[in-house]
């Protein structure tokens, strides 16, 4: 993770792109890439989506889109001074309290 963050930062700095990399702009870029990821799944049934990596061409595209999303998420977190893993683990602990195992089992109901 730290290695990736430094690589993405070096990539941006070498191109003098820090000026474009405000949190606002990076959040938009992240959303744009997630939109491309959605497009890979939009017409698939859930079952087909579970097999998408068996399709060589689709699998390559999905991995590339996941890569794009991760690049922008990493860059956004870097610019905000947020540790991605820490943010995710902290949130996971909060969600675990809100959805206790006994009550949440097998249910997708929102709380």
Positions 79 through 98 that interact with a copy of itself (CB under 8 A): 79-82, 84-85, 87-92, 94-96
Binds a copy of itself (CB under 8 A): choice among 56, 57, 97, 108: 108
Q: Which residues are CB-contacts of 52 (< 8 A; sequence separation ≥ 6)?
A: 40, 41, 44, 58, 59, 62
Interacting residues with a copy of itself between 24 and 43 (CB under 8 A): 24-25, 27-43
52 in Cβ contact with 58 (< 8 Å): yes
Q: Does 76 bind a copy of itself (CB under 8 A)?
A: yes
Closest CA to 87 of 98, 101, 73: 73
Q: Does 19 bind a copy of itself (CB under 8 A)?
A: yes
């Amino acid at each position: 993770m730290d290695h990736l963050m430094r690589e993405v930062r070096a990539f941006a700095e070498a191109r003098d792109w820090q000026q474009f990399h405000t949190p606002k702009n990076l959040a938009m870029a992240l959303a744009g890439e997630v939109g491309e990821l959605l497009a890979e799944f939009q017409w698939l049934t859930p079952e087909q989506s579970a097999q998408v990596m068996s399709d060589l061409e689709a699998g390559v595209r999905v991995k590339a889109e996941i890569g794009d999303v991760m690049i922008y998420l990493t860059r956004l977190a870097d610019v905000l001074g947020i540790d991605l893993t820490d943010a995710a683990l902290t949130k996971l602990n909060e969600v675990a309290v809100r959805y206790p195992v006994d009550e949440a089992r097998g249910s997708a109901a929102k709380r």
